[in-house]
Amino acid sequence: MDKDVEIRVKGTHSSDGEQETFETLCSGVYYLKNKKHYFSYQEETEQGKVKSIIKVKDKAMEVIKSGAVNMHLFLEPGKVINCTYDTPFGNIPIDIYTEYLNLYIENNHIKVDVSYEMQNNGEVIAGCKLLVEARN
């Protein structure tokens, strides 16, 4: 797969019976280094520019956002991992429980499908699904 790709990120957050979906489609970069898949892209949000790096290796995923939004999440199925979400009002500690993480690889297409819960003090605050795709 070429380094320059089209990246699609689709997320769904469900909380208190309400569901919110977001989708980003942009140009980005994909590469494989030390058996780790990297997706890198920049997007314009309501808060400003956000640079995102997603790293996937085996059954683990790391999501790093910096700029107008700062976030560092770790996802690994069957584990609860403490993460931090920075907001204009301060840092929010969040526990992430990952239900599943699937990686699909084809010639000119790679896809990561993940389902996780965001928890605070052992209580589920949101159910989340994330789909990340790169293609030539």
Report in angstroms the alpha-carbon separations of 14 from 11, 22, 29, 122: 10, 12, 29, 17
Number of domains in the chain: 1
| Series of mean pLDDT values for 10-residue runs along the chain (136 residues) | 90 94 94 94 88 94 91 94 80 91 93 95 92 95
Report in angstroms the alpha-carbon separations of 125 from 18, 31, 94, 120, 121: 12, 33, 9, 7, 10
Confidence (pLDDT) at 69: 82
Confidence (pLDDT) at 19: 96
Confidence (pLDDT) at 33: 93
Q: What is the CATH number of the domain that holds 130?
A: 2.40.128.20
Per the structure, the complete domain to which residue 15 belongs is given by 4-135
Confidence (pLDDT) at 37: 95
Confidence (pLDDT) at 68: 85
β-pairing, 109-120 vs 123-135, is antiparallel
